[in-house]
Amino acid sequence: MTSKLMNTILHTADSRGGADHGWLKTKHTFSFANYYDPARMHFGALRVLNDDYIEPGMGFGMHPHDNMEIITIPLVGDLEHKDSMGNTEVIRHGDIQVMSAGSGIRHSEYNKNNDQPVELLQIWVYPNRRDVTPRYDQITLNIADRKNKFQQIVSPNKNDDGVWIHQDAWFNIADLEKGKELDYTLNNPQNGLYVFVISGEAEVQGQKLNPRDGFGLWDTNKVNFKSITGISILLMEVPMNQ
């Protein structure tokens, strides 16, 4: 049964911070780079949710990270990754990339193509262990497996579906047809759930959400989803004690 003490927070798409660098157009759900809002620093262990659009042939040069779990979800186009561990990979829609920055890593990300943009979500999660050995992984998922159900893409467990990270967090994607309804039960009722609407119009626990809206819920163990138009949604279940 859903707790009566449930708390929520709504971040509408037009309330996000962002920047237009010409080659990069980006929106930040939480404080990042030149966007700072002390009320929007993180949602539990979820630190960054960036919605990036990269022009053809452009990208981020080599730059460092440490002690962060970084998940990249391409939505459109092909993104080329290179890092200081010697990895050179291309990730596409349907792929999930994870990088445990740990004790320190450098990497670059470029639009692989000169004739189409790349659109991606990049997500940072605080780890539950510091200074781990850096690691990189990516997998290709069957997108059909998220039709009208939750497809797990991230977990804390090496043998579970999706990629794994150093945090008690679970991510899922679902593509729901118009009129479909699903319930999500949290793996840990002490966690919170942050929902990001990739496309379409949804109703989450009675809250109407539009494309690129974010909605956080905690102090509950089950969340109800209804698809108004046909939707693609990303669910991020994370510890709240950060």
Domain of 205, in residue numbers? 7-239
**Does residue 1 surpass a pLDDT of 60?**
no
In tens, the pLDDT along 97-155 reads 999 999 999 999 999 999 999 999 999 999 999 999 999 999 999 999 999 999 999 99
pLDDT at 2: 45
- Domains: count for the chain: 1
| Position 1 in a domain | no
**3-class secondary-structure state, position 21:** coil
Q: What is the mean pLDDT of the chain?
A: 96
CA angle 31, 88, 144 (to 5 degrees): 75
DSSP output for 148-201: TS-EEEEES-TTSSSEE-SSS-EEEEEEE-TT-EEEEE-SSTTEEEEEEEEES-
Q: CATH no. for residue 117?
A: 2.60.120.10
Q: Which of 7, 10, 11, 45 is nearest to 28 (CA)?
A: 11
**Which one-letter DSSP state was computed for residue 35?**
B
| Position 22 in a domain | yes
In tens, the pLDDT along 153-208 reads 999 999 999 999 999 999 999 999 999 999 999 999 999 999 999 999 999 999 99
DSSP output for 98-135: EEE-TT-EEEEEEES-SSS-EEEEEEEE--SSSSPPPE
In tens, the pLDDT along 37-83 reads 999 999 999 999 999 999 999 999 999 999 999 999 999 999 999 99
| Position 2 in a domain | no
